[in-house]
């Protein structure tokens, strides 16, 4: 079990019981006392818990809902990392790959940089371009366009003109929401760029952590059948996976429960 997931379980146990001993919690989570102790020490350093004799209890620093939100954010970060790793596995030497803006695509960029595979990357995101440019093996091209306020994302007519001239082997596309049949995002400009990226790639791959699945925003940028496949994490409920596959989307589910101790 990954550290973030173990810590979330520790919080759940203490929200239920108020306080618990290390041995009791280690048995409940199926991990060693030494592993459990490291997690408790970390949560104490973050002021989530207070140590007691042989155990721990919750502090009053955050409400239960705020705590759940912070832990969920940590778990989602882990999920994006494993999704990015699986995406990077798809990149072959000599390929041309388009990387859409987003946190999951940025995670894929970091893994690709570390592996040193030689390929050509095209992106509409300055952060992703900076990550990839650290590898001498990767040729990085940045689209034109207007910087979206408060982000490192390029949008607009120049971005679209650039992408529409391309032909890529592979594309990694992020999404704000994914319903039973379509993908959507929060602005018309974002949706237009994503639509262009999908059209430019032989294999457009959707990267979305499970928290985004079966939600919807108002700007659709395509049907799920427009994608080669989806990469998501194993927190996706089985019934939702069945619906997506029944509607024609191939889904690659990446485990997030491997032991991270």
DSSP string, 245-256: HHTT--EEEEP-
DSSP state of 133: H
- Residues 6 or more apart whose CB falls under 8 angstroms from that of 124 comprise 100, 101, 142, 143, 145, 153, 154, 155, 159, 163, 193
The predicted-structure confidence for 118-130, as pLDDT tens digits, reads as follows 999 999 999 999 9
Q: Name the residue with higher pLDDT: 152 or 7.
A: 152
224 shares a domain with 116 = yes
86 shares a domain with 158 = yes
Q: What is the CATH number of the domain that holds 105?
A: 3.40.50.1360
178 shares a domain with 92 = yes
Residue 259 falls within a domain, yes or no? no
Is 99 a residue whose pLDDT tops 80?
yes
Q: What pLDDT sits at residue 235?
A: 86
If residue 97 lies in a helix (H) or strand (E), which one and from where to where? strand 96-99
Q: Can you give the pTM of this predicted structure?
A: 0.77
Backbone phi and psi for residue 253, each to the nearest 5 degrees, phi listed first = -95, 120
Residue 71 falls within a domain, yes or no? no
Return the ∠ at Cα 207 (arms to 67 and 196), rounded to 5°: 130
55 shares a domain with 168 = no
Strand order in the sheet with 168-174: 138-142, 119-123, 96-99, 168-174, 201-207, 229-233, 251-254
152 shares a domain with 38 = no
155 shares a domain with 221 = yes
| Whether the Cβ atoms of residue 221 and residue 185 lie closer than 8 Å to each other | yes
Is 257 a residue whose pLDDT tops 70?
no
Q: What pLDDT sits at residue 72?
A: 63
The predicted-structure confidence for 40-94, as pLDDT tens digits, reads as follows 998 888 888 888 888 888 776 554 555 556 666 666 778 888 999 999 999 999 9
Q: What pLDDT sits at residue 46?
A: 80
Q: Determine the structural domain holding residue 43 and report its residue range.
A: 3-61
233 shares a domain with 174 = yes
| Whether the Cβ atoms of residue 13 and residue 56 lie closer than 8 Å to each other | no
What would the mean pLDDT of 126-142 be, rounded to a whole number?
Answer: 98
33 shares a domain with 160 = no
Q: 25-34, 154-163, 238-247 — which is least confidently predicted? A: 25-34
Select from 38, 61, 84 the last residue of a domain. 61
Strands 219-223 and 182-185: antiparallel
Q: What pLDDT sits at residue 258?
A: 45
Q: Name the residue with higher pLDDT: 64 or 191.
A: 191
Q: What pLDDT sits at residue 134?
A: 97
- Show the tokens assigned to 236: 């996706």
Q: Name the residue with higher pLDDT: 235 or 197.
A: 197
Strands 154-155 and 146-147: antiparallel
103 shares a domain with 7 = no
Task: Kindly indicate the confidence band of residue 211, based on its pLDDT and cuts at 50, 70 and 90.
Answer: confident
| Whether the Cβ atoms of residue 196 and residue 166 lie closer than 8 Å to each other | no
Residue 164 falls within a domain, yes or no? yes
Residue 70 falls within a domain, yes or no? no
9 shares a domain with 130 = no
Select from 37, 61, 85 the last residue of a domain. 61
What would the mean pLDDT of 84-106 be, rounded to a whole number?
Answer: 97
Residue 209 falls within a domain, yes or no? yes
Q: What pLDDT sits at residue 61?
A: 54
Is 221 a residue whose pLDDT tops 60?
yes
Q: What pLDDT sits at residue 260?
A: 40
Number of domains in the chain: 2
227 shares a domain with 109 = yes
Q: What pLDDT sits at residue 115?
A: 94
Instruction: Provide the percentage of residues in the chain whose pLDDT is more than 90.
Output: 66
Is 259 a residue whose pLDDT tops 50?
no
219 shares a domain with 248 = yes
Q: What is the CATH number of the domain that holds 42?
A: 1.10.10.10
């Amino acid at each position: 079990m990954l550290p973030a997931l173990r810590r979330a379980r520790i919080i759940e146990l203490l929200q239920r019981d108020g306080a618990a001993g290390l041995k009791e919690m280690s048995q409940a989570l199926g991990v060693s006392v030494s592993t459990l102790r490291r997690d408790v020490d970390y949560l104490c350093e973050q002021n989530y818990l207070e140590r007691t004799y042989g155990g721990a209890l919750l502090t009053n620093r955050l409400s239960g809902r705020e705590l759940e939100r912070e832990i969920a954010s940590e778990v989602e970060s882990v999920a994006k990392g494993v999704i990015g790793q699986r995406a990077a596995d798809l990149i072959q030497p000599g390929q041309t790959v388009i990387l859409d803006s987003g946190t999951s695509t940025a995670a894929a960029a970091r893994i690709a940089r570390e592996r040193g595979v030689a390929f050509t990357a095209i992106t509409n995101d300055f952060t992703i371009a900076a990550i990839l440019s650290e590898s001498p093996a990767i040729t990085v091209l940045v689209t034109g366009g207007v910087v979206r306020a408060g982000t490192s994302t390029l949008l607009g007519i120049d971005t679209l003109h650039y992408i529409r001239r391309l032909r890529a082997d592979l594309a990694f596309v992020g999404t704000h929401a994914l319903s039973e049949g379509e993908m959507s995002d929060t602005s018309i400009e974002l949706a237009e760029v994503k639509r262009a990226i999908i059209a430019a790639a032989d294999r457009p791959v959707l990267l979305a952590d499970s928290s985004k699945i079966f939600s919807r925003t108002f700007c659709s940028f395509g049907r799920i059948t427009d994608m080669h496949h989806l990469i998501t994490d194993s927190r996706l409920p089985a019934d939702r996976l069945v619906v997506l596959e029944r509607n024609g989307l191939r889904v690659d589910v990446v485990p997030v429960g491997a032991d991270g101790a």
